[in-house]
Every structure is written in C-alpha cells, then in structure tokens.
Amino acid sequence: MGPLRVCGYAGFSRRAARIGPARRSAPEEHPPGSDEDPVESIITPYDGSLRRGHRVLALESGAFMSRHPVTVVTGGSRGIGAAVCVRLAGDGHDIALGYRSDAAAADAVAEAVRETGRRCVTVRMDTTDEAGVDRLFETAAADLGPVTGLVNNAGVGGPTGSLADADAAGLRRALDVNVVGYLLCARRAVRDMSRTGGGAIVNMSSAAATLGSPGEYVHYAAAKAAVDTMTIGLSKEVAAAGIRVNAVSPGIIRTDFHEDPERPDKAAAGIPLGRPGQPEEVAGAVAWLLSDDASYATGAILRVAGGR
C-alpha cells in the first residue's frame, strides 16, 4: 500500500487519496519546500489530524510537512483588495497580488504583506486577458507553491448615471472585467486546485446585485448578480473536487472606487448601521470564508452591507 496524501488547504478538502512514489517532474507532487529546496516548515510525523490554517503535504517517507496557504488576489493594489492582502497575510497566507496599472501601489501592499512575515509576489496583468491570468497563477505556483485560494476582486464600475445615457464601450468593459474576468480566473483556479487537492474561491460581489443601483450603474448591478449566480453554480460543480466557492457582497465601503469621493458619507443616512463600511471589515469576511471555520460553507453569498 502506497503512502497517503492528505490533499488541500485544511478545511477545504479532508479526503485522503492513494498515490504512488512521487515523480520529480510533476509539480503537484514535488512542490517547493521538498528535498530539492530549502525546507522552512517543521516536518513532523502525521498524527491523524489536519493542522489548522495550513496546507498539508505528504512526503514519500510517510512524514508530513505543513505549508502556509497560497492565495491569489486580483485587484490587490488598492481598496478592498489591498485590505484583503494584508489581512490574509496576517492569517498566514502567502499572497500573489494581481494588479492592472499602479505598480507603486502594488509594491506598497506587497511590502505590508512582507512585514507580517509572509511572502508576496506582484504580477501586472488584466483579468480579461487569458494569458495574463495564466501568468499570474504560474508565477504564484512557481514562487510560492501550489495555489490554495483565489479572491476574485478586480472590478470596475463603468459609466455612472442612467442606463439610457451609458456608452456601449463602457458597458462592455464593465461586463468584461466584472464577469468574464471572474470566470477566467475561477476557471484557472479550478484547473489548478483540482490537481492539487482542492482549495477555496471567494468572489467579490456587491449589494448592488439585489438593490439594482437605479440611476447609478444598473449595468454594474447586473454584472454582480451574474457573479452571485456564478458562485452558486460553480460551488456545486466543483464540490466533489474539494473546492469551495463563496462570495462576499459589500455595501457602500469607504474606498477610492467611487467616482464621487463623498458618496459613502452621503449614503450613510440610508444605511441601517448609520455609516459606510471599511475595507478591513470586508477583508475579515473574506478571511473567514477562506478559513477552516468556513469548511462547510460553499455557495454562500455573505452580505457585508451594514444592513442594506
């Protein structure tokens, strides 16, 4: 009987699968941190339990070593994405940060991640470009190890105002980034995670998906409703592979996403909690959905909207 491998990031997949002798040419069976690379983790005999918050990999000798989870975050250079990167790093994640244009902002977030003691790589890319998505995931796997998590966060609001006044190019760009970009990133994550024992995906939705955002950006609300449906459908499609898929649905959050910087405060009167949210509050919800504590949660849309 061959050695057993406990696959995946703890809480994502608790299935054990039989494997034969490790082949050095197979990345998923010979990740960084093996006998060809410096081992930073403590190697201990497997005691029958999964170590909380860490990826557990089998060694040919029967010993197991713990790895920190590796999470890809798109749109990680500012706002909610930046807060997610720093929060996850504090929870022990190594981060692959995808960004579109602001290298200085991405570098600043990467430095904040490294100050927590975790690793971070940054990749300039566009989530609507298949080659860029592949480059982000390949860099993450090569530099940090097998990807265990994806936070689909990159997004654009598009034109604001009534739909009747919106230009077609702006509408197409918004749908391309907010829907197609999410699908491309999730597709790559599923392909990788299904080969390495599972993982978790968190899609950034919006309370606009159910509120509709009339007079502001109906097209954005429609795109986020598509994200909710994608989350539910994909969660069922990939559950057997040990992959969980959930979404966080923020309300009005104080970030530079808004065309009108005063919008969060202007909207406070219509929020039951009486204030706009902070990026760190959304990041906390994302961190929970990626954690062991959410191991039985999949297909969920977690609303973080102050009661709206």
Is 117 exposed, middle or buried, given 0-12, 13-18 or 19+ CB atoms closer than 10 A?
Answer: exposed
Distant-in-sequence contacts of 15-20, Cβ < 8 A, 24+ apart: 15/197, 15/198, 15/242, 17/197, 19/58
Would you give the DSSP letter of residue 262? T
**What phi, psi does 202 have (nearest 5°)?**
-120, 120
The enclosing H or E element of 71 equals: strand 70-74
Contact 245, 203 (CB under 8 A): yes
Radius of gyration of the chain (CA): 20
Within 10 angstroms of residue 271's Cβ, the number of other Cβ atoms is: 17
Catalytic residue, from 9, 182, 217, 220: name it. Answer: 220
CA angle 266, 270, 272 (to 5 degrees): 125
Contact 25, 16 (CB under 8 A): no
Contacts of 140 (CB under 8 A, 6+ apart): 70, 72, 96, 121, 123, 147
Contact 72, 140 (CB under 8 A): yes
Q: Does 220 qualify as catalytic in the annotation?
A: yes
> Which tokens go with 171?
């509408």
User: What crossing angle do the helices spanning 103-115 and 79-90 adopt, rounded to 10°?
Assistant: 20
Contact 205, 228 (CB under 8 A): yes
**What phi, psi does 16 have (nearest 5°)?**
-110, 135
The residues annotated with a catalytic role in the active site are 220
